[in-house]
Amino acid sequence: MNQSFKLRSLLRSLISSPPPPTLTSLKWVSTKTSPTPLLQSQQYLLHHIQHLLSLKAHQKNFNYERSLLSALKSCETTHLAVSQGRGQQIHCLVFKAGLDSNTFIRNSLINMYSKCGFFGLAKSLFDSSPKLDPVSCNIMISGYVKSGNLDDARKLFEVMPQKGCVSYTTMIMGFVKKDFWGEAIEVYKEMRNASVVPNELTMASVISACCRVGRIWDCRMLHGLVIKMMFDGFVLVSTNLLNMYCASSSLGEARALFDAMQKKNVVSWNVMLNGYSKAGFANLAKELFEMIPDKDIVSWGTIIDGYVRVEMLREALMMYRLMVSTGLGPSDVTMIDLISACGRAMAIVEGLMRLVCN
């Protein structure tokens, strides 16, 4: 009965623990104000427009086109630039100057509308183009991918001229984002067949796709390709490879890669930690956890989950208390893990007590 009571107390303590202090609870705040990057961008844009409007007809030379392009670039940094009419104002200046057929300016307008969330305007401008060009197609494919419209992205991708690394990579990333792993790998195969050289983002995305559908030989093949193309120095690529090895239960090869990584971020540490935790190697997970330089909520949640998986409830609760003492609060998954583990432990104790009593 004593043990059951202790478990119940621990569970009550777990649920009623106060949340960690947030930044809003700090007793001091800075009273000094400074322009925000957004405000600076708006001021810079307004200066551009005022300059463009002040020019006379005879002053509109090649520098005028450059100024228009610069102003459109400024618009891309803020959604308000278009919603407040600044982007449309520049568009009118372009039309008035007869530069709407200029490919560079037209593509900048399409890019501005797309990045500012006015994809309908971007599409209207794109559809009115006399012919397809690779840059505008890439902009539109990216816009379709961001909005989750992979069907239209794929249709445009199929008919666009001169597909390059950006085109293929955007499609691959779009499929990976929507969990269409097989489709992503197929586009990568098309890319290789077309002799288009991938970049580090391409490889990171392909590795993510293969992690879900590939086998250990896929991982080794991609690892060899990454080394051959000298992408192993990119943290994103190496971390995705690490995750693939862990997902394939090849923890020895994963650890060898991890130790060989010249640069690691907290995600790299967490991936290796998760590999050990899911495999049930609680001691190896603990050793690695103590080496992590900057632990985040994922690090703590992963080590706690590792202990819960092997029924080391006391250690899991100790880690929980240490995490709270650092000012971090648990995620929903961590809370569910701990409450579920406490519930199982209480059920076992109560079952044993009944057996003894009977």
Token look-up 């060899």 returns 224
- Say what the pLDDT of residue 317 is: 85
Confidence (pLDDT) at 171: 97
pLDDT at site 118: 82
Pick out the chain residues at pLDDT < 70. Answer: 1-64, 67, 69-70, 74-87, 214, 343-358
pLDDT of 314: 84
Rounded to 5°, the CA angle 240-241-246 comes to 95
pLDDT of residue 168: 97
User: What pLDDT, on a 0 to 100 scale, did the predictor assign at position 78?
Assistant: 57
Between the alpha carbon of residue 110 and those of residues 120, 171, 296, 345, the distances in Å are 10, 19, 40, 60
Tally: H helices and E strands in the chain = 20, 0
Q: Around 346, how many Cα atoms within 13 Å sit in the side-chain half-sphere? A: 15
pLDDT at position 31 = 35
Cα 89 to Cα 91: distance, rounded to the nearest angstrom: 5
Half-sphere exposure of 54 (CA within 13 A, CB side): 7
